[in-house]
Chains A and B, each alone.
Chain A
Amino acid sequence: MNSINRVVVRAENVSKVVPTAEGELTILAGVNLEINAGESLAIVGASGSGKTTLLGILAGLDAPSSGAVALDDAVITDMDEEQRARVRGRCVGFVFQSFQLLGSLTALENVMLPVELRGERTAEDDARALLAKVGLGDRTSHYPRQLSGGEQQRVAIARAFASKPTVLFADEPTGNLDTATGERVIDLLFELNREFGTTLVLVTHDSRLAERCDRSIEISGGRLL
């Protein structure tokens, strides 16, 4: 599909340093990275290697200490939180390890949320279709606490695709799920990814998941290997 080699995520010399009681701690050091449109990329590494921090910075959830990040041609490191939020709303989707559904909203309302935030009116029909697609067409009015982990993650995936994002970031999407459920969730993720032509960036330490991606990079001690 989107086979033209357009770069949608670009990181240049990205570093992240945080102050701690024992002095400065370098979490990321001079990371350079380009991700093409339609590509699926796995970021792997041990716990504490900095992969989740990198994901957060690439997605514009966090700002680097130095370096630049461009997302869909927008240099998000030059932006304030207000502007970054707009970029996120326009072209980024997320799937988290801990699902992060809003407990006070039903499955349907959770999926409608990103479109509602953009102020579009078609939210409900689209959301119902997406929920049907992830196999939860009959659970639309259920609250997250009434759903199993796998079901919650499927709602989260439906929510991630609801805004038709350019890039989908996933942080350990199967981390809280058993193997079989994890498999089904991953199948669903890749299936929708293909269907929507989304760029997929996921952080995982699950080697089988990493193998299914087009490309895989390893991070250790804050540096790409």
Chain B
Amino acid sequence: MAARLAWRDWRSGELVLLSAALIIAVGTVTAISLFVDRLHQALLLESANLLAADRYISSSAEIPQAFRDAAAAQGLDMADVMVFPSMIFAGEDKNQLVSVKAAGEGYPLRGKLIVADAPFARGTPTTELPARGEVWLDSRLFPALGVALGDQVEVGMHTLTVTQVLVNEPDRGGSFFDMGPRLLMHLDDVPATEVVQPGSRLSYRLLLRGESDVLDGLKETLPLEPNFRWVGIQDASPRIGNALDRGESFLLLGGLLGVLLAGVAVALSAHRYAQRHYDHVGVLKTLGATPGDVLWGFLALLLIVGLVSVLVGLAAGALMHLAIVEALSAMIPVQLPLPSFRPFLVGSATGLICALAFAMPPLVHLRHISPMRVIRRDLGPTEVSQFVTYGAAAAGSLALLIWYSESLVLTLWTLLGTLGVLLVFGGLAMLMLRTSRVVGMQAASIWRLALSALQRRHRESTAQIMIFGLAMMLLSVLFLLRTALLDEWRTQIPENTPNHFVLNIAPDEVEAFDTLVATASDQRGGTYPIVRGRVVAVNDVSVKSMREAQEAAGDQSDGPRLGGERNLTWSIEAPEDNAIVAGEWWAPDDPRPQVSLEDEYALERGLALGDELTVDVGGVEVKAIVTSLRKLDWESMRPNFFIIFSPNVLDDFPATYMTSFYLPREGKRFLNELLGRFPTVTVLEVDAIIEQVQSIVDRVTQAVELVLSLVVVSGCLVLLASIQASKDARMREHALVRTLGGTRRLIRGSLAIEFAALGLMAGIVAVVGAEVTVSVLQTQVFELSNRLHPELWLTVPVLGALLIAAVGLLGTRQVVSSPPMMVLRGL
């Protein structure tokens, strides 16, 4: 029975829209999920490359065998790495401070080493490691040491042969002290060098590779505190972690809005389908169909249509995603991993929930249709049932959203924004349309016919304004967030950010150094003098006695301590990207000794404005008053200082200078010239890190754009479904107008104006709703700064009017083109 009903309805085209909405809902969600899933895996892999592993444990002490046993028991892959600075020697008189990395079998667990046969060549990936007795050197070391491939260098007590040029390693970044030119050797050669002595600066790492949950489980079981640090991508590179987090939140939000929009489309078309079957059900009932028959008949029908649509949708989604991958293949250089099963599950569940929450309620209520309807056509379903309908849809959306986004916060804010907008503006639109109610159809003029039509169907018009408004609002929200995210990412690492840091420039070299750098780079960071020193007393109370007092009070907290040796600098001007958050920066001619502290540094150590710090610099004590606190951006890739003194405090101490500059990849050879002229300076290259960060941000950006465009498709579908939903009433009315002598021009014009007015009002609703929602989402979820977007205030309503008028006219072509008689008889 149900199958026959479905087949007949399908044949007559009654189910096409419902089915299309379901297919598109399932298809969109499946495609987005598939793509996001694969991209997410790719991004995770890529960011794992930055660690050369999925996680690692790092320590200045040797990693205990117990850790390895625990990891092995979980089936994780491991590799050992040691990093230490060492002076190496070549030939008679050449030596250079390098950062040695000694790697064990398996390194790198993620990403690849890039090697070349000649210094400064581009290089190719390799899966090998230096064999025992061999070393691979950074390009820069070849001229600096005057060696070539096949020559020998001495590391500690061991002599090793240079066999390759090391162009890049996945985890080149890391901490600042790890940034000398690299020497890569085999871990097993380390004992022979005899560099591992008590007190040597060593960093041990145990790299780990495996499933996320297994890794997280391992982390819980290991006694890491206080000596071992567990490092994931979030810890190693908070910038990339943030970009990933926000990007993912956005993708989820996009997919989620796509689901919502598709759900609305499904609800609208199911509602229309049900409406067109009121008579049908009435007749069936007069013929003896019981309410139960009607209920089960339509439910079975929905099940059949739902199943078929879900299957078609899954296939369509898979195809769509393949098309996207194909289209973006040029932009996505990484090999995408195979998708997991989850996207298909997500797609199917979406179809099911859409069918249950959005399509089922209107169909279920068909059983309440009175058989008297065959005689008296005004009998529709009861009012109560409509509340149930909306309730079911709301519950369905909530379940879908929470499940899909796995984020209660994101979901609740989105829903609250949406609901608030609907309530406020539904009321407003209703009021607007009701107050100026005119009498009659006003068919004499195009304008008045259109406006009277809007008012006569004020209930439907309100609903449409809200639905159009909602669709446009969600699109605007997505668009604004995307723009905000991209802006944020772009400003984080601007083009030509200094990507080389130079330390240890002697005071008498500064000028010559500047002149030389100017020939190769026009992008410079500031130049800062550096003096090493440590805080020994605060307000004349020694740090040592403060610590003892703390311990006596039973405070075991191993929070941040004063007293460590730090880089100190002084400056007349405040660094340009530092913001003063308390106190005032000193005037250039202020003779008093003053100091400015980084905000959090001060907070964590209980320091405040007005405190007097005593600092020990090479055995001489100086004093200065804290007169300002600064906030600074640790992700800015510029030299940053916790402690900056006013100019007159540290002037007399011997200082070295540091600076930074931008060097494009093709200009790297300049480093040789630089190091040739100034052999004592230390150059830190961070260009590789910056490039990696940019590539990941680019990837996330593409995904964001893609999701936006898919959601736009969903939005258009809602518009179409909504116009379809009101088509019958419009067609009947306009057929009547035409029967009574209205011209096609009159009808087309009035339809255009009616839709444009709907679009305009919907646009206004959308703009206000979007501003509210975006400001909440930006501050609560994405942690971006908030601002209004006046550029949208006019654009969205006008675009709304144009778009709705165009889609509306397209959707109601039939109203205008079919003979009125056919319309009247067909309804």
Question: Residues of A at under 8 Å CB distance from B?
Answer: 52, 55-56, 59-62, 81-82, 85-90, 92, 94, 96, 100-105, 109, 113-114, 116-118, 143, 145, 159, 163, 171
Contacts and interface: CB of A to CB of B under 8 A. Distances in A.
Interface in B784-827: 822, 825-826
Given A88-B286, A88-B287, A103-B826, A94 B293 contact: no
Nearest to A159: B287
Contacts of A92: 286, 288
A163 B372 contact: no
25 contacts: A61-B372, A61-B375, A62-B370, A82-B290, A82-B291, A82-B292, A85-B285, A85-B288, A85-B290, A88-B288, A88-B371, A90-B288, A96-B374, A100-B279, A100-B374, A102-B279, A102-B280, A104-B8, A104-B12, A109-B8, A113-B287, A143-B12, A145-B822, A145-B826, A163-B287
Contacts of A104: 8-9, 11-12, 14, 280
B732 to A, nearest CB: 14
Given A52-B376, A61-B374, A102-B279, 19 more contacts: A59-B286, A61-B371, A62-B370, A85-B288, A85-B289, A85-B293, A88-B287, A88-B371, A89-B287, A94-B374, A100-B286, A100-B374, A103-B826, A104-B14, A113-B284, A114-B287, A116-B4, A117-B293, A145-B826
Contacts of A100: 279, 282-283, 286, 374
Contacts of A82: 290-292
Contacts of A85: 285, 288-291, 293, 371
A94 B375 CA distance: 11
A14 to B, nearest CB: 15
A85 B289 CA distance: 6
B1 interface: yes
A102 B14 CA distance: 12
B372 A145 contact: no
A3 B287 CA distance: 27
Contacts of B293: 85, 117
A59 B372 CA distance: 10
B1 A145 contact: no
Nearest to A85: B290
B19 to A, nearest CB: 15
Given A96-B374, A145-B826, A163 B288 contact: yes
Given A81-B291, A104-B8, A117 B284 contact: yes
Interface centre among A88, A92, A100, A101 (most CB of B within 10 A): A100
B273 to A, nearest CB: 11
Contacts of A94: 286-287, 374
A112 to B, nearest CB: 10
A118 B290 contact: no
A218 B732 CA distance: 36
B279 A145 contact: no
Contacts of B371: 60-62, 85, 88
Contacts, number: 89
Interface centre among B286, B292, B293, B370 (most CB of A within 10 A): B286
A145 B825 CA distance: 7
B12 to A, nearest CB: 4
A59 B12 CA distance: 31
Interface string B365-393: 00000111011100000000000000000
Contact of A118 (B288, B292, B375, B826): B288
Minimum-distance CB pairs A-B, first 10: A89-B288, A104-B12, A85-B290, A61-B371, A114-B287, A62-B372, A88-B288, A82-B290, A61-B372, A94-B286
A184 B793 CA distance: 66
B15 to A, nearest CB: 10
Given A52-B375, A96-B375, A102-B283, A114 B288 contact: yes
Contacts of A145: 822, 825-826
Interface in B11-29: 11-12, 14
A109 B4 CA distance: 10
B282 A89 contact: no
B134 to A, nearest CB: 80
B383 to A, nearest CB: 14
Contacts of A114: 287-288
Contacts of B375: 52, 55-56, 61, 96, 171
A118 to B, nearest CB: 7
Contacts of A56: 372, 375-376
Contacts of A101: 283
Nearest to A114: B287
Contacts of A118: 288
Interface centre among B292, B370, B375, B826 (most CB of A within 10 A): B375
Nearest to B377: A98
Interface in B262-300: 279-280, 282-293
A210 B11 CA distance: 41
A82 B375 CA distance: 19
Nearest to B371: A61
A159 B286 CA distance: 12
Interface centre among B11, B288, B293 (most CB of A within 10 A): B288
A50 to B, nearest CB: 12
Contacts of A117: 284, 287-289, 293
A86 B288 CA distance: 5
A104 B276 CA distance: 10
Contacts of A96: 374-375
Contacts of B822: 145
A105 B8 contact: yes
A117 B14 CA distance: 21
B289 A89 contact: yes
A129 B12 CA distance: 25
Contacts of A86: 288, 290
A103 to B, nearest CB: 7
B374 A81 contact: no
Nearest to A56: B372
A101 B283 CA distance: 8
A100 B376 CA distance: 12
Nearest to A83: B290
B292 to A, nearest CB: 6
Contacts of A55: 375
A143 B292 CA distance: 28
Contacts of A60: 371
